Amino acid sequence: RLSERLPVEQDDEFGKLAQVFNQTFARLEESFDRLRRFTSDASHELRTPLTAIRSVGEVGLRKGLDADALREVISSMLEEADRLTKLVDSLLTLSRAESGTLKLRPEPTNLVALVSEVIECLEVLAEEKEQNIALMASQEAVADIDRGTIRQALMNVLDNAIKYSPQGSRISVCVEVSAGEATVEVSDGGPGIAPEHAKKVFDRFYRIDSGRSREVGGTGLGLAIARWAVEVNGGRIELESEPGKGSIFRIVLPVRES
């Protein structure tokens, strides 16, 4: 551990230098801690699908399995492999985000068109659950944003609305512009999020119900990525929810002054 500190004895330049040194050290220490925690959490998460692949594989090696049983084994292994791929992709995105190596290309982007594109991509998943996604937009909204990162944020939030809401429910996406800001609001009829979880759901690997998250193919990284993507584009992400009354996720972005 980096626990060394310089004693600050005087109020002169040496004292100030020692203070700066100590503060830098403390920041370094904090980032090492964060990195350590992240590596340990990530390893733990990677281990879950790997363990599943192993144990399903062992079942597959048992004697006397018929073709149908074998096919089932292979299909569960593929499902776990998909989970692993999703997790690794998300980890890569976050690590690029952290290191600042992801090159952003802000350009004037029509938000309503982008939102429709994302809805179109996820419509199949909603149809599987007989859910209806309604898009409401009263006016054009053009924001100077990096399309790719905001697309990812919208995908993650809408994907959650579909995943965590019941069969046959309605999801609405509303795009609005006011006071120099564009808001994309995703409302669902899901279980809602209690206040004690509301801030934490944006933390890496935080899940309210990890069994449920796993069941629906979650990685625990979706909202952490969404928050980073929105903030790096100069915006913010907000959550308004009450248990039993659904959730509203709001992505607020600065719009171009016309």
Residue closer to ligand ADP (CB basis): 224 or 251: 224
Check residue 160 for interaction with ligand ADP (CB under 6 A): yes
Check residue 222 for interaction with ligand ADP (CB under 6 A): yes
Please name the residues in contact with 247: beta carbons below 8 A apart, sequence gap of 6 or more: 161, 164, 187, 188, 190, 192, 193, 239, 240, 241
Check residue 235 for interaction with ligand ADP (CB under 6 A): no
Residue closer to ligand ADP (CB basis): 222 or 235: 222
Helices and strands counted in the chain (H then E): 7, 7
Check residue 187 for interaction with ligand ADP (CB under 6 A): no
Select the span of 9-17, 33-41, 135-143, 159-167 touching ligand ADP (CB under 6 A).
Answer: 159-167
Spatial distance between the Cα atoms of 102 and 100, rounded to a whole number of angstroms? 6
Quick note: the x/- pattern for ligand ADP over 127-156, rule CB under 6 A, is -----------------------------x
Spatial distance between the Cα atoms of 137 and 64, rounded to a whole number of angstroms? 59
Contact status, residue 171 vs residue 186, Cβ threshold 8 Å: yes
User: 111-128 and 147-164 helices cross at what angle (nearest 10)?
Assistant: 30
Radius of gyration of the chain from Cα atoms?
Answer: 23
Scanning residues 202 to 221, which ones bind ligand ADP (CB under 6 A)? Answer: 206-209, 213, 218-221
Give the binding site for ligand ADP (CB under 6 A).
156, 160-161, 164, 188, 190-191, 193, 201, 206-209, 213, 218-224, 247
